[in-house]
Amino acid sequence: EAIDCRTLVPLQDTPSVKSTYSALIRSPRDIKVYMSAVNLGDRVEGNSRVTEFSLDVPIPSYLIALVAGDLEYKKLGRNTGVITEPVFMKACVDELSELQDSLDVAESFLTEYEWGMYTIVVLPPSFPFGGMENPLLTFASPTIIVGDKSQVNVASHEIAHSWTGNLVTNRNWENFWLNEGFTMWSERAIIRKQRGEEFYRVASALGNSSLYDDLNLYGYDSTFTSLHPNYAGANPYDTFSDVPYEKGFLFLTYIETLMGTENFEVFLRFYLEKYRRQSIVYSQFIETFLEFLDDNFSEQERNKIVTKIDFHTWIFGTGPPPVQLNFSTPNLEISRELADAYLLGNGTPKNYDVFFGYFSLLKCIFLQRLVDRAEDATIPILEQIDKDYTLTTTIDPEQKYLWLQLC
């Protein structure tokens, strides 16, 4: 995570150190201020507004956040809300109408939500910072406001961080996957329970594709393709990728397949309760996992699971994970086959209209296939695809990101 907090506060700017904090923020009278802390109220002093904040849950420095501007707050549910500029509020409220349900689903299989309120700040287009899991003040890019709720999985990811990352934190950045791998697993558990198995599998398949994009970019022997990379002498901004997210997700999902989803969720709660409000490293995860197996499985069952997990290769190995997981579905394969049919160069396929019935991520599967076979995508083929599907004018950021790689 960014280390800019040290420019704001004199502190030990490392995730190994957690602290509570309080703040008094003075702003121009018409400027509203919010922080990643509980708002204790504000008062007007002449031409200034003074707002008081306090957070009694210890957090690492990278989660201290502040936003100020012409902002408005709107409650969405029992303990959820949104902050944005007044002109964008209606669109944000409509798009994020399921936010409370997402938080409730997360709480149903994780532990109790400790932070009180959960609020998303939808940032202005002039500062489209990607999702950031600041407690009580999640930052979200305005690109998630599409109009069809197709990008709200970003909210599920940041909600999941309320437990993995914010409550249980990596002690150093070599263990970043403990933040992001667990959060990806929980994000997809949320959408699996909300949207069903196919949505979950398609999201996982796309994540797997993005993982291999990064593995190929770095090279399979690069330390940055490991879940425990060596950052010595490297610019941190050159090392950030989907590896800790997606390879970490695959590791945990593989463990889930060995012990069953219900047992894995019980383990996850045990892990969260044991390490809440602490910063840890990978060895503590392994120790806790083995402890859980000892306490909840017979010796025979335990050994059957453990002998199938090569912890060292999963965590320290470079390149692809040691086990490949299959997330395919019939519709996913049809979407890829549709892309292949276009790439034959024979014009519009007969079944081209199935695309219009796809949810956003299935459309991304189609586009990812085109990207993977970009050498076969001639200009006439791309023109035909755009004529059929008007992808150049889509406002869906994931689809546009893939489409523009082909243009």
Q: Is 352 an annotated catalytic residue? A: no
Q: What contacts 24+ positions apart, CB below 8 Å, involve 352-356?
A: 352/388, 355/388, 355/389
Rounded CA-CA distance 294/307 in Å is: 14
Closest CA relative to residue 99, chosen from 73, 127, 118, 126: 118
Tell me whether residue 180 is annotated as binding.
Answer: yes
Q: Please tell me whether residue 281 adopts helix, strand or coil conformation.
A: coil
Rounded CA-CA distance 333/335 in Å is: 5
Rounded CA-CA distance 243/208 in Å is: 10
Q: What angle do CA 369, 401, 144 make, to 5 degrees?
A: 120
Annotated catalytic residue: which of 1, 158, 174, 256? 158
Q: Are 251 and 227 in contact (CB under 8 A)?
A: yes
Annotated catalytic residue: which of 245, 271, 282, 342? 245
Tell me whether residue 157 is annotated as binding.
Answer: yes
Tell me whether residue 161 is annotated as binding.
Answer: yes
Q: Is 158 an annotated catalytic residue? A: yes
Closest CA relative to residue 152, chosen from 213, 91, 110: 91
Rounded CA-CA distance 259/305 in Å is: 7
Closest CA relative to residue 171, chosen from 252, 8, 253, 284: 284
Burial annotation 94-109 (CB, 10 A radius, 16+ → b, else e):
ebbebbbebbebbeeb
Strand arrangement, sheet containing 38-45: 18-28, 48-60, 38-45
Q: Where are the alpha helices (DSSP H) in 297-378?
A: 299-306, 311-316, 330-343, 360-372
User: Residues at the annotated binding site for Zn(2+)?
Assistant: 157, 161, 180
Q: List, as residue ranges, the binding site.
A: 157, 161, 180
Catalytic residues: 158, 245
